[in-house]
Chains A and B, each alone.
Chain A
Amino acid sequence: MTTPDQPDRPDFDDPPDRPGGEHRGLREALGAWVLGALDGPARREVEAHVASCPDCAVEVGALSPLPGLLNRLSAEEIVDGRLAVDPGLADRMATELRAVEASVHQRLSRWRATAMVALALAAVAALVAGAGLLVDRGATAPPEDRLVAPVRAQVADAVSTRGEAAALAWEWGTTVELDLQALPDRDSYVLWAVATDGTREQAGTWGATTGRGARVRGASSIARQDLDHVEVTDADGTVLMTFTFPPD
């Protein structure tokens, strides 16, 4: 993009007392003057003019913040314009980020579907077998990628709860799989992921199942190495049980 060399000449055409382009010449010297680039005689001439020309004094006021601002950038940064973004970058970025966004959404809806199917299976299995749930580890993730923690009861009626939680590391965060039996009797349960810095994220929720068992998968954006523990609360937030993973 270019700027016309003299876009606003009519603003300061020579007044009657300064004929022959003299005022224009002084006016155009104001830029060099605020940058301190005028030699002795020329500098003194401009100074004398600014002192007697209110118009040029206002102009100096408008230009004077610029030298300070210009100091923030190096000569190279200004000459090659490297800090200004080329339009191609924004386009490339938009395309790549849209792909990321889409893949995250896809995964999220897949986990939700998986969690619901798991719940349905759990309910059916509980009805059929009375107790115990189908566990199909092979269909989830490689065994070496799972950190497993046993249940630790936090309320009296959770002491008979059996089972474990597994945390799986993903590039975007962590999925948590619960496999529990003999849950304390509540209307609903909430799975929380808690980071070492205390950040809490709701990773999933489910309702009561007939056999008091649950096989649920939840997801959290907390990276597994940042995950301190997961916990299950009731709808009121009372912690029913926790699962603390060994160090990643």
Chain B
Amino acid sequence: MAGGLRSLEELQQEFTGPLHAFALRRLGDRRAAEEVVQDTLVRAWRHADRFDPARGSEAAWLFTIAGNLVIDRLRRRQARPVATGRPPDPDTTMPLVADDAEVDRILETWQLAEALATLSEEHRAAIVLCHHRGHSVAEAAGVLGVPEGTVKSRVYYGLRALRLRLEEQGVMG
């Protein structure tokens, strides 16, 4: 039944994390994201014979299914009738994920999230304040109530640890 596709268990082990992050970022709802992951893996596996390696990678196929399931859910949420007929079947609509390059980017972003999650909260907070919030070291020190030297140290060792994790994951060479 599982054609050119690997077993459900193998797919689950490799793609649960990336698919979950992908769906969660678009739906903002943990439970809904979990359902999308499960539906995606089951659909992929049940329709394994439709998977054609010549047309794209296994990952691209999975994210296409997941993307369509996400669209389906967002559409249902809008509580507004679809213009014509019923919503298209998630397996047959045009892919949301266009190509392998886009899939690589999705996987890479997920690996980044995973790598960041291994840092201490203090390291993450210092990096976010100085980068995303645009604070200077002095401002971040004020927010955190620690000396400036501590902020510098947390940012530096945080970034080093992040770089190391990404190297281990093969994201950065």
- A residues within 8 Å of B by Cβ? 1-8, 25, 27-32, 34-35, 37-39, 42, 62-63, 65-67, 69-70, 72-75, 77-79, 81-85, 89-90, 92-94, 96-98, 100-101, 104, 108, 172-173, 196-197, 199, 201, 221, 223, 225-226
Q: What is the minimal beta-carbon distance from B80 to any residue of chain A, in angstroms? A: 23
Q: What is the minimal beta-carbon distance from A58 to any residue of chain B, in angstroms? A: 12
Which 4 pairs between the two chains have the least Cβ-Cβ distance?
A: A31-B156, A84-B117, A83-B113, A37-B130
Whether B120 contacts A32 by the Cβ 8 Å rule is no
Residues of A within 8 A of B128 (CB): 75, 78-79
Whether B135 contacts A37 by the Cβ 8 Å rule is yes
Q: How far is the CA of A128 from the CA of B65 in the complex (A)?
A: 51
Q: Pick the contact of B49 from A65, A74, A221 — CB < 8 Å?
A: A221
| Size class of the B contact interface (CB-based, 8 Å) | 35 or more
Residues of A within 8 A of B13 (CB): 90
Q: Which residue of B lies closest to A100 (CB)?
A: B42
Q: What is the minimal beta-carbon distance from A232 to any residue of chain B, in angstroms? A: 19
Q: What is the minimal beta-carbon distance from B89 to any residue of chain A, in angstroms? A: 6
Whether A97 contacts B46 by the Cβ 8 Å rule is no
Contact A226-B133, Cβ < 8 Å, known A63-B163, A89-B16, A173-B46 = no
Instruction: Indicate with 1 or 0, residue by residue over B25-46, a CB within 8 angstroms of chain A CB atoms.
Output: 1000010001001100110011
Contact A104-B21, Cβ < 8 Å, known A67-B131, A78-B116 = no
Q: How far is the CA of A242 from the CA of B135 in the complex (A)?
A: 70
Whether B119 contacts A42 by the Cβ 8 Å rule is no
Contact A93-B130, Cβ < 8 Å, known A85-B20, A104-B46, A221-B46 = no
Contact A89-B34, Cβ < 8 Å, known A1-B118, A37-B155, A74-B132 = yes
Q: How far is the CA of A17 from the CA of B8 in the complex (A)?
A: 61
Q: What is the minimal beta-carbon distance from A70 to any residue of chain B, in angstroms? A: 5
Whether A35 contacts B130 by the Cβ 8 Å rule is yes
Whether A6 contacts B157 by the Cβ 8 Å rule is yes
Asked if B99 lies at the interface with its beta carbon under 8 angstroms from chain A, I say no
Q: Which of A32, A79, A94, A172 has the most CB of B within 10 A?
A: A32
Q: Which residue of B lies closest to A84 (CB)?
A: B117
Q: What is the minimal beta-carbon distance from B111 to any residue of chain A, in angstroms? A: 10
Q: Pick the contact of A31 from B38, B49, B152, B172 — CB < 8 Å?
A: B152
Contact A3-B49, Cβ < 8 Å, known A89-B34, A101-B8, A226-B91 = no
Residues of A within 8 A of B163 (CB): 62-63, 66
Q: Pick the contact of A97 from B1, B38, B162 — CB < 8 Å?
A: B38
Q: Pick the contact of A81 from B113, B153, B162 — CB < 8 Å?
A: B113
Contact A75-B132, Cβ < 8 Å, known A32-B152, A221-B1 = yes
Asked if B92 lies at the interface with its beta carbon under 8 angstroms from chain A, I say yes
Q: How far is the CA of A1 from the CA of B155 in the complex (A)?
A: 17
Q: Pick the contact of A84 from B114, B127, B156 — CB < 8 Å?
A: B114
Residues from 72 to 129 in B contacting A, C-beta threshold 8 Å: 89, 91-92, 109-110, 112-114, 116-121, 123-125, 127-128
Whether B16 contacts A27 by the Cβ 8 Å rule is no
Whether B37 contacts A93 by the Cβ 8 Å rule is yes
Q: How far is the CA of A139 from the CA of B152 in the complex (A)?
A: 74
Whether A77 contacts B113 by the Cβ 8 Å rule is yes
Whether A223 contacts B91 by the Cβ 8 Å rule is yes
Whether B16 contacts A90 by the Cβ 8 Å rule is yes
Known A-B contacts: A72-B112, A97-B38, A101-B8. Give 20 more (CB < 8 A): A1-B118, A6-B153, A8-B160, A28-B149, A28-B153, A31-B156, A31-B157, A35-B127, A73-B116, A78-B127, A89-B16, A90-B17, A97-B8, A97-B9, A100-B8, A100-B42, A172-B46, A197-B92, A221-B1, A223-B89
Whether A108 contacts B1 by the Cβ 8 Å rule is yes
Whether A85 contacts B118 by the Cβ 8 Å rule is no
Asked if B71 lies at the interface with its beta carbon under 8 angstroms from chain A, I say no
Q: Which residue of B lies closest to A5 (CB)?
A: B157
